[in-house]
C-alpha cells in the first residue's frame, strides 16, 4: 500500500506540474487577447488605455454615452445630486461595459430617468484607477494657478 500511495503522490505531482506548464504558456496569450479586446469593460479601466488603445477616440465611451443620454435633460432639477435606483444604475453600467448603447438610443427608449446616466457618469469618474488630475499634471496645474495669481 505504501508503494501505491507513493505512486499516487508522484502522479499527482506530475499532473500539477503539467498544469503549471500549460498555464504558464497560456497566461501571456490570454493577457494579450484581453489587452487587445476592444469591448473589454470600460469601468475601472485607465482612461488613456480605454481611449487610445481600445476605442481609438478622444472621449471615453461611458462619458460620451452618458452625456448623450443627458442631452435633453439639463433642465431637470438636482440631476447630479439625486441618487438613481441602484438596480437601474447597475444595468446601465453593464450596458455601457458591453457597449450596446449607441447614439440612436434616447433616454426614454431605455426607460431610465435622467438621474441614472448622471449617477453612472459620477460612478465612472469616481472609479477611474488614476485621478483625472494625475501626479504628472499637478505641477502644471500649480503653475497655472500661480500665474493666475500673479496677473490678478
| Cell numbers describing residue 145 | 494657478
For the residues 82-101, what does the mean pLDDT come to? 92
| pTM for the full predicted model | 0.66
For 107-135, the pLDDT digits (tens) are 988 989 999 999 999 999 999 888 777 77
Of 41-45, 84-88, 108-112, the range with the lowest mean pLDDT is: 41-45
For the residues 140-146, what does the mean pLDDT come to? 85
Amino acid at each position: 500500500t505504501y508503494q501505491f500511495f507513493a505512486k499516487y503522490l508522484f502522479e499527482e505531482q506530475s499532473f500539477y506540474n503539467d498544469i503549471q506548464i500549460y498555464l504558464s504558456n497560456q497566461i501571456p496569450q490570454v493577457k494579450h487577447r484581453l489587452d487587445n479586446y476592444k469591448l473589454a469593460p470600460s469601468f475601472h479601466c485607465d482612461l488613456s488605455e480605454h481611449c487610445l488603445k481600445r476605442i481609438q477616440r478622444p472621449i471615453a465611451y461611458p462619458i460620451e454615452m452618458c452625456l448623450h443620454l443627458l442631452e435633453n435633460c439639463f433642465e431637470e432639477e438636482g440631476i447630479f445630486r439625486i441618487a438613481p435606483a441602484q438596480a437601474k444604475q447597475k444595468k446601465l453600467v453593464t450596458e455601457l461595459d458591453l457597449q450596446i448603447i449607441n447614439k440612436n438610443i434616447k433616454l426614454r427608449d431605455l426607460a431610465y430617468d435622467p438621474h441614472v446616466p448622471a449617477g453612472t457618469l459620477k460612478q465612472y469618474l469616481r472609479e477611474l484607477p488614476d485621478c483625472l488630475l494625475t501626479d504628472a499634471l499637478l505641477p502644471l496645474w500649480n503653475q497655472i494657478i500661480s500665474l493666475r495669481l500673479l496677473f490678478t
